[in-house]
Amino acid sequence: MPKRDMAMAKRATSTPLVFAHYMLVMQPKDGDYTEDINLAKEAGIEAFAVNYGGWNVDWTQQEGYLEKFYRTAETLNFHLFLSIDTTSVKDTGMIIDLSNKYSSSSAQLKVDGKVMLSSFQTDPPAWNWETDVIAKINSPVLFLPGSLSDDAVALFSDEIPGDGPFPWIHTSKTADQEHSLDVSLASQRDSSGKKWMAAVAPWFFTRLSSDKNWSQAQDDSIFVDRWLSLLSLKPDFIEIVTWNDWSESSYVGPAAQATTDVYWADLDHSPFRALSKAFGKAFKAGGETATVDEADEGVYMFYRLQPASKLGSSDTLPLPTDASNLKDDVFVVSLLSDAAEITLKSGDAAPVTWSAPAGVQKTSHTWSLGTQSLQAKRGDKVIADKTGPAIVGQMDKYNGNVVAL
């Protein structure tokens, strides 16, 4: 787990909030946002950052999706804000019109009386955000542009438009490298007085083509360790990336809603929502770790279904980038109000039992092929008793996603 710098503890806002990035192009199967919104509320998520744009976009259709999303959110007392995907959105008039249209909606997220606006950017767009967009929106705007940059000084420079940066996860960085960048971001935030929105992802893996065939270098540290690190660094906002990008395995939403035909997108990630709820509660309270009530206890495990270095029997692509950074382990995360005994049975290997303390603990265990089962008890009370799908020596096609249960 990365070392945490306890000195970084300032926020530029008194209202820490947790969001989740929602891919509008990936619609719920029934076109109804109710389940997603209710699950997000249950997980302590205040708003969806609605990724407007994407691939093969029908803009008339997108406008219809967004209209329905806002109306449903109004009914359910939930909030949304636009995250403009500049890889496909090229019309500043579209951004202005949509921002003005929904600025008065009860579902529009406002922070300190300002309309929240963000973006996903691989490169700076052709326009000037301040003069070509923000100045033409009819309400005050809090703008946090997205970026893939790892230059903390540049991200907080006055030359960068907006009220502070939203750096995405850097999948090729190790957990320690990402943490070092976060420490620099926190320092720049403190000295600049701007805001900082940090990203947290449960996982990353995609295998769409030879040009998009990658995993991530942080392995099991990408989620729990990062949450704990950010609790000490105290960004102003945290955005879970993502709710429903099935194609990149970064979803915390219900896998049953997956509307893509990629073969790796049907694995359950729902425990990441439960963990986000606990960490998010601590984040909003200014805590350094999660304090667990008995009602919120849980013990979870996540793992891949195959060895990291084994290509599928019918694969035509090479191993994904950063596959060498992935461990063939079962990762167990406990959220406990008091100590409990946990037993993991991995395949034909002998069971492993240990005493887990109150609070948060993450442990790693080299797996054996076969079914994976987990039990947690405190005296006669069974806290968790679950069995996951089997790990196999080779699949038909390489699968670098994780199942969580």
pLDDT value at residue 14:
65
Q: What is the mean pLDDT of residues 133-149?
A: 97
Element containing residue 232 per DSSP (H, E):
helix 224-233
DSSP single-letter state for residue 127: S
pLDDT value at residue 56:
87
CA distances from 399 to 1, 34, 74, 108, 395 (A): 25, 30, 39, 38, 8
CB within 8 Å of 67: residues ≥ 6 apart: none
pLDDT value at residue 5:
44
Q: What is the mean pLDDT of residues 90-94?
A: 96
CA distances from 125 to 128, 167, 209, 329 (A): 8, 16, 26, 41
CB 170 within 8 A of CB 181: yes
- Between CA 347 and CA 354 the distance in angstroms is 18
Q: What is the mean pLDDT of residues 348-354?
A: 98
**Amino acid present at 234:** K
pLDDT band of residue 12 (cuts 50, 70, 90) is: low
Q: What is the mean pLDDT of residues 210-233?
A: 97
pLDDT value at residue 84:
98
318-333 as b/e: b if 16+ CB within 10 A: ebbebbeebebbbbbb
Mean pLDDT rounded to a whole number for the chain:
95
Q: Check whether 8 has a pLDDT greater than 50.
A: no
pLDDT band of residue 10 (cuts 50, 70, 90) is: low
> Half-sphere exposure (CA, 13 Å, Cβ side) for 133?
26
pTM of the model: 0.95
Residue 65 phi/psi, 5° resolution? -60, -45
Q: What is the mean pLDDT of residues 296-315?
A: 97
| Token couple for 136 | 């033409």
